[in-house]
Structure 1
């Protein structure tokens, strides 16, 4: 059994996200804490949002892999982008890897006044499910 993603009639249809996800009983839930565009020492990889977004997603892949998950196991993404950052550049750096044919994951994106890591322009977190 796998996660079922739904785009109900009456709600906007988007190739980028679904509205509802149904996780089968017995699945393991993986919670991914916020990932920023930092290297293994905690230093920002760039002052620009595009490279930070790409690295934040790479960090998310490493963290998911530690739990036995991949991007394909993600049920919902949460993307926080600093209000001063270029949203198009942020999503442009990560959208191709997040896209899924037919049943995209849920997604929540927010513009925020700032993030916990000084200079960080993006933070990505997620919830994934591993079928039994």
Structure 2
């Protein structure tokens, strides 16, 4: 039993995201709270959106691994970008790592006025599922 990601007819087909994901009964769900581009002390790593994006995704990966999951297990990503930050640069830095081209995860993205961490330009959160044994 695997997670099924669907690109329904009638909706735009994108290599970057799917529209629907079906998680099998018995799967373990893992929720990763918002991760910013900060180091282990909580300091923002740079004022550059690319550097922050890479670190935010690295932090999400660390959190996933702590729960026995990986980037490949992510069903849905939520990405917040601070207004004025270069969205294209941020996605260019992390997009290839968000999921596989054959069955990409769901992605929700929003441009927001500001994030909770002063100086943060990006925040990512994830929902992952581990297939039942």
Alignment partner, residue 56 of structure 1: 56
Alignment partner, residue 105 of structure 2: 105
Aligned length, in residue pairs: 132
**Unaligned ranges ≥5, structure 2:** none
Alignment partner, residue 73 of structure 2: 73
Output the aligned Cα RMSD.
Answer: 0.6
**Unaligned ranges ≥5, structure 1:** none
Alignment partner, residue 94 of structure 1: 94
SS of equivalent residue, structure 1 residue 96: helix
Return the TM-score normalized by structure 1.
0.98
Deviation at residue 99 of structure 1 after TM alignment: 3.6
Greater alpha carbon shift after TM alignment, 83-92 vs 61-70: 83-92
Q: Once superposed, which parts of structure 1, at least 4 consecutive aligned residues long, lie more than 2 Å away?
A: none
1: CA distance, partners of 2:129 / 2:89 = 28
Deviation at residue 123 of structure 1 after TM alignment: 0.1
